[in-house]
Structure 1
Amino acid sequence: MTATLLVLLLLSQSDSAERETRQRAVSAQLAFRGALREVSGSTRRISGELARLKASSRGLASGNGVFLRYADYGVTQLRWMEAQLAAATRLANAASEVEDPDMQLALLRVAGPRLEAAMVGSLLLAVWLDFLNLADVALRQQLHPVETLFADMWRRQEMLEPTMTALSSREHGQVEAAAQDVPPLVGHLTSEFAATVERMRVAAENLQKVLLLKEAIETVTMLSTMRLSLPSMHPSAPTLVGIGLAVGGDGVMMGTRIVVSAEWVELVRHLVRAGVLSLPVVSAAVRIQAGQAMLARAHGELPRGVREALGDGPKVRAMHETGKAGAGMSEPPRHHVLPKEFREWFEKRGFTGEMDVDQFCVKLERAHHEAIHGGGNWKLGRTWPGEWNRMIMKALQDAELRLGRLLTRNEVLDIVAERMKVYKIPMNFTPWGGQ
């Protein structure tokens, strides 16, 4: 009787743990799609504004159109962001079709860096759009020397280029490092923007031009990344922007409206805790949106209440540890859970593009990596039936023999997920880097 009760208890705990994992996967999936919609909405607005600026016959597009190269630069940056969002969407769709909840979360983590890059990139591109709109106003109303304006835009583009290149790299380490550099960059650009607006205000010849300038700049900054960082205009002119900040009881930054909304916090809380988004990247986004008071802080620093609201905790921090490589030691080996020597076999079953076998690598301690391959000598290891590559291919091929057809991509992933749990391989994929 005691043994029976023990078995029932263990089964109950197992069912409860499985339900919790499935619920976590569903929550992460919904949150991920919500974040995708938000970033996609931002890129669509930017795309519309860029198209409007290029189509106009005045301002930025007037004369010989020499300033249009800066709008074209924005369009070029927008392309890679849209490509990243499209790939992230495809990965999210693939995750929703897989049966195993741990594999669902693992696929969302593969998509995470793509969403991070597009999210931070769109914030920076919104700043660039502000400068394009400002240049458009200056050219329309002749409020700034053309040669100086052109040189300033060129210099700012050069300031953006290294960060944009890193964000578009698809390498998570570069994306995370670049994201943490974005807040001080936005802070510097915000100061330049405010200084340029002031020079334009002084250049306005009469009150009517000042009022036109005010109206134009308010339109420019309505959806601006910098809207909470810009100072008020000179007292002699109408107020432009100027919003005080405070920290609410739950640690969420507040202005005259909620800067980081409760809905956004809830989205990223799920994604940070699930390891889909990294806290340093989310923190950078919060600092950018929270205004000048937060832009001045050192890398990664947020008030404790804000960090906790975003889901910070020991488990989250452990999920993004750099490992021994961060302490100057060699990088742990990366294990292809889909054996790369069978790349063609996997490609025939749908593993191409962002689902290529090189996306399904796991960092393992050297001893663990050698153990699953049958020891340090890989040739001898292949003679052991339990060696990972030999075992997984046999399991997949046996499944196809039973079904009498090729496995679908999702069926392959479910079988792989089951074997990864048996071999105690963490379901936390990282792209192959050639190590």
Structure 2
Amino acid sequence: MSGSTKRIGSALSKLAASKEGIGGRAGGVFAPYVTYGVNQLRWMNDALTGATTLASVASEVDDPDMQLAILRLSGSRLQSAMLGSILLAAWLDFLNLADVILRQCPFCSKETLLADLDRLQKMLKPAMTALSSLKPGQVEAAATDLPALIGQLTGEFNSTCEAVRVAMKRGEQAMLLAQIVEAGTMVLTMKMSLPRLPPTASTPLGVGLVVGADGVVIGTQIVVSAEWVEMMRRLVQAGVISLPVVSAAVRIRAGQVMMAQSHDELPQGVRDALGDGPEARGMRVTGRAGAGMAEPPEHHVLPREFREWFEKRGFTGDMSIDQFCVKMEQASHEAIHGGGDWRQGRKWPGEWNQMIMKALRDAETEAGRMLTRSEILETVAYHMRRYNLPMEFTPWRGK
């Protein structure tokens, strides 16, 4: 993923810096479309940085349940960046096409090209917005629709290529007429750089698939190999990455023909490898929210009232205490805080906030120093088991 975003970033920089084409109009109407790509790349890089941070912290924790819980927090960032890079690669293809048209096709309408880019950006925007939210539900919904969207964009890309070829042909005829009328006047000829395709063929959009000597299919963003599939299978089983996201990536990367298939029609070998059985396709437990009821309360296992204490020990940014919440039923949440009246609940030594802070402070006193993040999480994991709290974290909604 890091290599992919670097390549896309480099290509966007070249488009913005070039003196001709889109770059030559940096202060004009085409510049915002390059800027849009740069802005999307920024949140993808931030998501990858956050996922890397969480994965690194997970590797420092000895408790296996806590390690997996932290790793799951990185999943939404990773899969958002993975799907986002597929869309951004498609957008980059359109920008490159527009750049070629502006430089080499004076017969093409600039107004039409501008309108096309605006329309295509609006097609991308809902999916990009959902992915940039990093919310698992929105990411999965976007993943479900992504193969169809890529297929639609591919059709748009090929239609634009055909329109350009027609314009170039008419331009060549006009230039030939000018040469005849002017009796040998030199006229500059244009050479189209876009590949000419058979009527039934389509240009793979944002994919760039290459089959290596060992039969591995290498894409612009991901490598679909036996090792990659095995890694995805393990991450799906662990709940780090969802099956719909992996399915969308494989369907797009494994070839355009897959995009015409229904969402459950992955090749049998891929389904077997990913474990796409009845259990994987079954409905997820969504709780009260999935039933259309109010969202259950989110319990901060690292108490909010001691936010500053935790920040001094490294819980900032992607490791903020707001990342470490667990969803609980209202009654259970009140019980863990000593009842409905939180002021009275604070008087109970077993109340979660009082108990966990006493345990952490006692541990620091015994160590004679500040606890590290991994040591704090180890202590929290122990007490979460005591209180039968699920080791499944969800980011705080901020309500």
Fold conserved between structures, TM > 0.5: yes
Distance 1:297 1:279 in 2: 16
Residue in 1 aligned with 2:180? none
2:291 corresponds to which of 327, 335, 355: 327
Matched, 1:417 2:381: yes
Distance 2:149 2:357 in 1: 49
1:9-68 residue CA offsets vs partner (Å, 9 max, x unmatched): xxxxxxxxxxxxxxxxxxxxxxxxxxxxxx111111101111122222222223565323
Residue in 1 aligned with 2:9? 47
Look up the SS of the partner of 1:362 in the other structure.
Answer: strand
Residue in 2 aligned with 1:214? 195
| Residue 335 to residue 305, structure 1, CA distance change in 2 (3 Å) | farther
> For the Cα contact (< 8 Å) 1:253–1:290, is it kept in 2?
yes
1:225 corresponds to which of 197, 206, 216: 206
1:203-239 residue CA offsets vs partner (Å, 9 max, x unmatched): 33379967743289xxxx99953557xxxxxxxxxxx
Look up the SS of the partner of 2:326 in the other structure.
Answer: strand
> For the Cα contact (< 8 Å) 1:333–1:363, is it kept in 2?
yes
Distance 1:314 1:253 in 2: 28
Matched, 1:116 2:79: yes
Residue in 2 aligned with 1:175? 139
Which residues of structure 2 form unaligned runs of 5+? Answer: 174-188
Distance 2:273 2:292 in 1: 32
Distance 2:347 2:122 in 1: 56
Look up the SS of the partner of 1:214 in the other structure.
Answer: coil
| Residue 254 to residue 320, structure 1, CA distance change in 2 (3 Å) | farther
Distance 2:301 2:324 in 1: 6
Distance 2:196 2:12 in 1: 19
Residue in 1 aligned with 2:61? 98
Shift of 1:174: 2.1
Residue in 2 aligned with 1:69? 32
Residue in 1 aligned with 2:112? 148
Count residues with an aligned counterpart. 371
Matched, 1:277 2:241: yes
| Residue 326 to residue 308, structure 1, CA distance change in 2 (3 Å) | farther
Q: Give the TM-score of the pair, scaled to structure 2.
A: 0.83
Question: Amino acid of the residue matched to residue 41 of structure 1?
Answer: G
Look up the SS of the partner of 1:114 in the other structure.
Answer: helix
| Residue 424 to residue 227, structure 1, CA distance change in 2 (3 Å) | same
Shift of 1:356: 1.1
Distance 1:427 1:319 in 2: 20
Question: Amino acid of the residue matched to residue 107 of structure 1?
Answer: I
Residue in 1 aligned with 2:88? 125
2:364 corresponds to which of 392, 397, 400: 400
Look up the SS of the partner of 1:204 in the other structure.
Answer: helix
> For the Cα contact (< 8 Å) 1:284–1:300, is it kept in 2?
no
| Residue 304 to residue 379, structure 1, CA distance change in 2 (3 Å) | farther
> For the Cα contact (< 8 Å) 1:265–1:309, is it kept in 2?
yes
Which residues of structure 1 form unaligned runs of 5+? Answer: 1-38, 229-240
Look up the SS of the partner of 1:213 in the other structure.
Answer: coil
Question: Amino acid of the residue matched to residue 244 of structure 2?
Answer: P
| Residue 405 to residue 214, structure 1, CA distance change in 2 (3 Å) | same
1:254-279 residue CA offsets vs partner (Å, 9 max, x unmatched): 99xx9832222122112111111111
1:110-161 residue CA offsets vs partner (Å, 9 max, x unmatched): 1111111111110000000000111112122216322111110111112212
Look up the SS of the partner of 1:335 in the other structure.
Answer: strand
**RMSD, aligned α-carbons:** 3.2
Distance 2:79 2:329 in 1: 27
Shift of 1:200: 1.9
Distance 1:346 1:319 in 2: 37
1:169-201 residue CA offsets vs partner (Å, 9 max, x unmatched): 232222222232322221111100011111222
| Residue 209 to residue 265, structure 1, CA distance change in 2 (3 Å) | farther
1:386-433 residue CA offsets vs partner (Å, 9 max, x unmatched): 222221111111111111222111111110011112222121100111
Question: Amino acid of the residue matched to residue 276 of structure 1?
Answer: V
2:306 corresponds to which of 322, 342, 346: 342
Distance 2:266 2:50 in 1: 30
| Residue 319 to residue 355, structure 1, CA distance change in 2 (3 Å) | farther
> For the Cα contact (< 8 Å) 1:278–1:320, is it kept in 2?
no
Question: Amino acid of the residue matched to residue 289 of structure 2?
Answer: A
| Residue 223 to residue 266, structure 1, CA distance change in 2 (3 Å) | farther
Shift of 1:378: 3.5
Q: Give the TM-score of the pair, scaled to structure 1.
A: 0.76
> For the Cα contact (< 8 Å) 1:225–1:289, is it kept in 2?
no
Shift of 1:290: 3.3
Look up the SS of the partner of 2:108 in the other structure.
Answer: coil
Shift of 1:331: 2.3
> For the Cα contact (< 8 Å) 1:102–1:427, is it kept in 2?
yes
